[in-house]
Chain A
Amino acid sequence: EMQLVESGGGLEQPGGSLRLSCAASGFNFSSYAMSWVRQAPGKGLEWVSGISGSGGSTYYADSVQGRFTISRDNSKNTLYLQMNSLKAEDTAVYYCAKRMVGARPFDYWGQGTLVTVSS
């Protein structure tokens, strides 16, 4: 059974850092591009960052460029999001999402981890 399990969320002060993890199982992790998508409380979905299956290509939304870093460890079947210089507007549930093979969208999502940025 395919599973994506996020962890690492919590309460952090503005300017602080957090590292999110997404543990994958039930599929050949290294064959699939992955992304992080967030959803602020009561708001819509916002794509945050994406990474190719090999990890050689990474992509970021303008809102997090220069502050967040996406990476993956295919030997551990794990996706990461290093979040630095956190702002109140980064408060959201963060989902990891698996992309379908080829130029296709996200067919499987984790349950999400809540990040709250507040003093």
Chain B
Amino acid sequence: DIQMTQSPSSLSASVGDRATITCRASQGIGNYLAWYQQKPGKVPKLLIYAASTLQSEVPSRFSGSGSGTDFTLTISSLQPEDVATYYCQKYNSAPWTFGQGTKVEIK
């Protein structure tokens, strides 16, 4: 099975900073990559699919890029409401594996 590895496992940045999370697949998955945001005590929320397509009503400060095995989620200007854990997920075929998560905090 394809493994999904995120880095870093946590990051701390100041309000207004650029935050970048990477996700690596152990084999190529095309652009079948999604990013989810899970705020503390809340249900996961889809942010991006097809590696770079923003889900409706997601703020434009979120962006995604990549294809094949290497993907990136970027928050262009970190806001207090972005404190959350972020997960990547492959969905080209079962199993629809998630990365281990990246916890984002405000410095």
Interface set of A (CB-CB < 8 Å, partner B): 35, 37, 44-47, 50, 59-62, 95, 100, 103-107, 109-112
Contact = CB atoms under 8 A, between A and B. Distances in A.
Contacts of B45: 109
Contact of A61 (B85, B91, B95): B95
Main secondary structure of the interface of B (DSSP, over half): loop
B49 A105 contact: yes
Interface residues of B, number: 25
B34 interface: yes
Given A44-B87, A45-B101, A62-B1, A105 B96 contact: yes
Given A44-B101, A45-B87, A103-B32, A50 B94 contact: yes
A119 B89 CA distance: 34
Nearest to A44: B101
